[in-house]
């Protein structure tokens, strides 16, 4: 469910979550573009630690981009939001716990707030503050990727390099999208050959 239009007397929060390669940022950009076409005032933010591709744009892996502010924390959002009617936030998982109250404040103030982010880290743990944001959002979209090993719907980010950081910023080569069955947080083996389409999964397990 994807609402359109300017809030009438109230705002709301939309959250787009998913694993790596699920098209979260593309979806965020699509919603923001539609608002721009309707001449709504749109402002976009991304966290300072996400320096991939360009410093002042939100970019999807597919090459779409939209101008954005790079901010250090949620407090800056309130200051820079100005009179924007629609507020986009990418990589919400990097903003820390205060993002929730800031989004609530913006929505209470009559804005449409759209946040994209990872809902799980590479160990499958809920990635704060996205779960808290999901709880208070009016509209939730969970995007699935395609498992790079077997082609099933995928909601996990498989890390394929053995490093400890919770997230490897800008290193998309360090991840693969995997389904529940093919995801293994204790292995860092990349897919060598994808399973052929139509493979009998029960056979393959033996
Ligand atoms: Zn799979």
Catalytic residue among 91, 104, 189, 204: 91
For residue 30, report the distance from its CA to the centre of ligand 1, in Å: 28
Q: Which residue shows structure tokens 């790596």?
A: 20
For the chain, the domains span 12-143
Task: Tell me which residues of the chain have a pLDDT lower than 70.
Answer: 1-7, 50-55, 198-206
| pTM for the whole structure | 0.88
Angle at 201 between CA 196 and CA 205, to 5 degrees: 115
For residue 7, the model assigns a pLDDT of 57
Please return the burial class of 118, using the count of CB atoms within 10 Å of its CB with bins 0-12, 13-18 and 19+: buried
How far is 178 from 157, CA to CA, in rounded Å? 6
pLDDT of residue 170: 80
Alpha-carbon span 159 to 11, nearest angstrom: 37
Ligand 1 centre and the CA of 181: distance in Å? 6
CA of 22 to the centre of ligand 1 (A): 14
Q: Is 193 a catalytic residue?
A: no
What pLDDT shows up at residue 2?
47
Residue 162 burial (CB < 10 Å; 0-12/13-18/19+)?
Answer: exposed
Task: Give the Å distances, CA to CA, from 14 to 90, 93, 103, 188.
Answer: 12, 14, 10, 33
Position 193 scores a pLDDT of: 82
Domain 12-143, CATH number (from 3.40.50.300, 3.30.300.30, 3.40.50.970, 1.10.150.120): 3.40.50.300
């Amino acid at each position: 469910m994807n609402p359109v239009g300017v809030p009438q007397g109230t705002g709301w929060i939309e959250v787009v979550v998913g694993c790596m390669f699920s098209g979260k940022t593309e979806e965020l950009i699509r919603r923001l573009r539609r608002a721009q076409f309707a001449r709504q005032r749109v402002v976009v933010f991304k966290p300072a630690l996400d320096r991939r591709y360009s410093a002042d744009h939100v970019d999807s892996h597919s090459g779409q981009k939209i101008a954005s502010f790079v901010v250090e924390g949620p407090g800056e959002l309130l200051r820079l939001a100005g009179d924007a009617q629609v507020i986009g936030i990418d990589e919400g998982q990097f903003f820390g716990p205060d993002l929730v109250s800031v989004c609530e404040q913006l929505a209470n103030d009559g804005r449409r707030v759209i946040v994209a982010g990872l809902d799980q880290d590479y160990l499958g743990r809920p990635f704060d503050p996205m779960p808290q944001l999901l709880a208070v959002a009016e509209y939730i979209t969970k995007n699935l990727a395609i498992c790079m090993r077997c082609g099933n719907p995928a909601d996990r980010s498989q890390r394929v390099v053995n490093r400890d950081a919770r997230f490897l910023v800008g290193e998309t080569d360090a991840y693969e999208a995997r389904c529940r069955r093919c995801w293994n947080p204790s292995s860092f083996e990349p897919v060598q050959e994808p399973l052929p389409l139509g493979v009998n999964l029960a056979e393959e397990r033996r």
